[in-house]
Amino acid sequence: MSRALFEGIIYEARFIIESLESCGIRIDELVVTGGGAKSRFWLQLKADITGKRVVVPRVTEASLLGDALLAGVGAGIYCELEDAVDCACAVKDVFEPDPSVKTTYDQRFALYGDLYDALIGLSGRLAQLPSYS
């Protein structure tokens, strides 16, 4: 059940990525931060389903790091934010898509798209039902 939940979330991410790419936005890799950057299983699954390289930075608490870098610029430690980022943001790990599972995930993603199309009308109908009291 957990794996199905993880896969569903990543299929939706792939759907969004492919939508952006169809608009001319190029996405070569995904940089993952926060709690999602702690599970090797989750990271490899992201790479396999999306077909994108998944990069984990050395510091995964992006908000805190961003605050610290901005403070460093404000305090004059760094001249520009780009200098701070270049100095502080290193890669910890990289997950490459596994070509041996690509066909399986591509087939399942196609089914996900078909299910999405089939359920979109039902979602509208569900939204029209009265809420629970």
CA distance 100 to 15: 21
Q: What is the pLDDT of residue 59?
A: 85
CB 75 within 8 A of CB 109: no
Domains of the chain: 2-98 (3.30.420.40)
- Tens of pLDDT, residue by residue over 44-101, are 999 999 999 999 998 888 888 889 999 999 999 999 998 888 888 889 999 999 999 9
CA distance 69 to 75: 10
pTM of the model: 0.80
Q: What is the pLDDT of residue 63?
A: 84
Tokens of 11: 């299929």
CA distance 28 to 106: 18
CB 30 within 8 A of CB 46: yes
Residue 133 has pLDDT above 80, yes or no: no
Q: What is the pLDDT of residue 83?
A: 87
Contacts of 91 (CB under 8 A, 6+ apart): 55, 56, 57, 58
Q: What is the pLDDT of residue 48?
A: 97
Average pLDDT of every residue of the chain: 92
The sign of the CA dihedral 115, 118, 120, 126 is negative
For residue 68, the tally of other CB atoms under 10 A from its CB is 14
Percent of the chain with pLDDT over 90: 67
The secondary structure of residue 133, as a DSSP letter, is -
